[in-house]
Chain A
Amino acid sequence: MSTPASTSARDTILARIREALRVPAPPPHMASQAAGATAASGPGSLTVLPLEMARPWLPDGGETPAEQLALLTDNLAKLRAEVHRAADLAGAAGIVAGIARDRGWRRVAWHGHPTVEPAAAALACETLRVDDNAFDKNALEACDAGITACDAAIAQTGSILVSSGTCGGRALSILPHVHIVLVSLDQIVATLSDALELVRTGYAGRMPSMVSFITGPSRTGDIERILVLGAHGPKELLVILVG
């Protein structure tokens, strides 16, 4: 919106910024010489980018696919997500149907995605298919669980990457009490920066309006700093590794 008031506020703020930056600020106090040398080249032309500098020091993401799978599984367990393994989508469908039956789910929402379809077809209960069209928010709110695919799983952090463009919009992975996510083994990446690179290149030209890194089930520590799962988002995150 470019009302005159907002335009003049923009011009004033940008003018204040330009004026303020006429005097350069010294680089922050840094422990490593490499960082200092990089900073010396000035804020606009860093000789080494922050990510390149940080990469060797951030938590490990694993070298081989086997290491990455082990790390991912370990991190998901520490985050209190529930991890299942299936050989293929039919196997995953069997696991999902079993869970739904055991827990007595009455209604399950799912994204109309080829990966999710077999699981949805195997459900004995009522289902709500979420596609590219608008759906009833109240109907989704009443669902026991939501099933989606994902765009990546990150070994380093145990995070799952979903987007509004590829995983059934914004609400499906956050509103139902349980989120079931199907992860194909070839979707596992080592680090958060690998996944962000995927966001940059994979969605290039058509960025989904929401991209979310989900790291475990919803949680809070607001009451006496005691961990409670299921604050507002899913109480449970069920990750089914397929492959």
Chain B
Amino acid sequence: MTPGSPAADSHPVYEAEDPHLAKRKFLDDAAEHVRDTGHRAFVRKALGGYYINRDTQQARYRDWEQARDAASLAKWSAVNRLDELLPKFVAAFEANGGQVHWARNADEARTIILELLRGAKAKAVIKSKCMTSEEIHLNAALEDDGYGVVESDLGEFIQQLRGEPPYHFVFPCMHVRRDEISDLFGRHLGTPPTDSPEELTMIARRHMRRLYVDADVGITGANFLVAETGQISITENEGNARLTAALPRMHIAISGIEKVVANLDDLAVLLPMLATAGAGQPMTCYNTLYAGPRQPGECDGPEEMHVVLLDNSRTAILADPEQRDSLHCIRCGACLNVCPIFKNVGGFTYGTTYQGPIGSVITPHLRGLADWNHLSGASSLCGACTDACPVRIDIHHHLLHNRRNAAKTAPNRLERLGHKLFAAVASRPWLFATGGAVFRKTLWLLKKLRLPLLGDWLATRDLPAAPAASFRSQWRARK
């Protein structure tokens, strides 16, 4: 088989073409998904096993909460020493024969990777799951330049064939039923229908094996960059990242600059916690440290290894001490799995690379608060995300911080006028009493009038009945 990008199904639009329409799109998609009870039930069922496994594995810790303290400390001390640890990682990695490239933004990262592929005279590219590549829309850029790109992670492969971005940044196709996958494979790979997840997995396995052997370049992400040793750490279950970094002659890893940890000891804390929080496992199946290209005396491995370090507004988050801890994120996805909003509106509604609570925190930084502040409202502020976070990011408070910052930079005039009016009334007792009296008499009218301002609010809520007398008159009467 000739390796090449599979022709994807045509797909609906997942991102608002005009970023100013992101909010409208979010509201429309959310309304649609919330009504889709079949989809909601399917996602909840898929997550059911996760809750059980996560609890079982957390119980193996002698104290999960104390371990969270240590994990958050490891990330805090690394992110707050990025100026020292990032150059240290780079020096150690280069000493092992690896090459480092710096990208200020998505465009620079794509250019660097395209140049590497040209230099390597590459034809076929195999990829393992890498969210930073989704962030910079790498696949489209590679395909535009004529490279065949295949996603090797099963979930990502399914999403690539469907022409969809990942639905969840750890479980990319958790919204897709097995019969849909069977149809998809039938159409693209010509395989007979089956309702067995195992048989479907084997179809992808058989399809992919030649592609690993034939690919010139393997592209992966990185979960951690170890400053002490200059190694990158990749966590995966399927073995596709191991194969992607073993067989092609060039290995390119794309990583956000915030992935640095100080030393190997930190991994002894973070690797098991990533597995437990993210997928309810004691350890993910393969945790692999890559120090560079094939060394003398080794029988295989790539001739060249490149790491692309991506900023893409991460330094903007770093510059906000209040929300700097959102760079501690190890992308385990635990906050999505427990979020009542995520479970009801689904992953695509967010219209972002990183969905769920952590995505709602960081996307306004990555793509502009003005257009993405509506995600700060995609929260019940229940705090389930903050409780689930293995590195103790203060997620739900950051959603409030984003709301506050948005109100500061782009105040809602109507809201501000309302507050001013209320302040004017409330600071004058006679006006407050008169206003109250009028309000008590006319509250029923509000229901009838369906004012556009209150429409969204009243559509799902009942107005309370107005009391007969004001609090102050009741107080006087009882004294």
Measured CB to CB, the residues of A under 8 A from B are 1, 5-6, 9-10, 12-14, 16-21, 23-32, 34-35, 38-39, 43-44, 46, 49-51, 53-54, 56-60, 75, 78-79, 130-135, 137-138, 141, 157-159, 164-165, 168-171, 174-175, 191-193, 196-197, 199-200, 206-226, 228, 230-234
Contacts and interface: CB of A to CB of B under 8 A. Distances in A.
B69 A35 contact: yes
Contact of A208 (B153, B173, B295, B391): B295
A35 B75 CA distance: 13
Contacts of B49: 221, 225-226
A221 B285 CA distance: 12
Nearest to B234: A212
A138 to B, nearest CB: 6
Contacts of A226: 49, 197
Contacts of B309: 13
A50 B74 contact: yes
A220 B178 contact: no
Interface in B357-371: none
A152 B272 CA distance: 17
A28 to B, nearest CB: 4
B315 A20 contact: yes
Given A171-B300, A222-B201, 4 more contacts: A9-B103, A196-B264, A213-B287, A233-B238
A9 B433 CA distance: 63
B68 interface: yes
B80 interface: yes
A185 to B, nearest CB: 21
Given A6-B102, A207-B229, A207-B231, A158 B298 contact: no
B297 A165 contact: yes
B245 interface: yes
A213 to B, nearest CB: 4
Nearest to B310: A13
Contact of A57 (B64, B83, B319): B64
Interface centre among B60, B103, B104, B286 (most CB of A within 10 A): B286
A39 B72 CA distance: 10
B101 interface: yes
Contacts of A141: 209, 213
15 contacts: A30-B392, A32-B65, A50-B265, A60-B62, A131-B299, A137-B247, A192-B268, A196-B264, A200-B264, A209-B292, A213-B288, A218-B286, A231-B201, A232-B212, A233-B285
B116 to A, nearest CB: 9
B295 A165 contact: yes
A233 B247 CA distance: 13
Contact of A50 (B80, B269, B393): B269
Interface residues of B, number: 122
B319 A20 contact: yes
B76 A28 contact: yes
A17 B213 CA distance: 40
Contacts of B393: 28
Contact of A25 (B284, B286, B321): B321
B73 A46 contact: yes
B188 to A, nearest CB: 16
A69 B395 CA distance: 41
Interface in B267-307: 267-269, 271-272, 279, 281-295, 297-301, 305-306
Nearest to A18: B83
Contacts of A233: 238-240, 242-243, 285-286
A126 to B, nearest CB: 19
Contact of A16 (B213, B240, B315): B315
A209 B73 contact: no
B299 A210 contact: no
A181 B208 CA distance: 25
Contacts of B229: 199-200, 207
B335 interface: no
B442 interface: no
A53 B64 CA distance: 12
Closest CB pairs A-B (n = 7)? A233-B239, A54-B70, A231-B238, A193-B268, A170-B246, A222-B155, A43-B80
A136 to B, nearest CB: 10
A196 B294 CA distance: 21
B345 interface: no
B152 interface: yes
A58 B72 CA distance: 14
Given A6-B102, A58-B67, A231-B238, A17 B318 contact: yes
A211 B289 contact: yes
Contacts of B265: 49-51, 193, 196
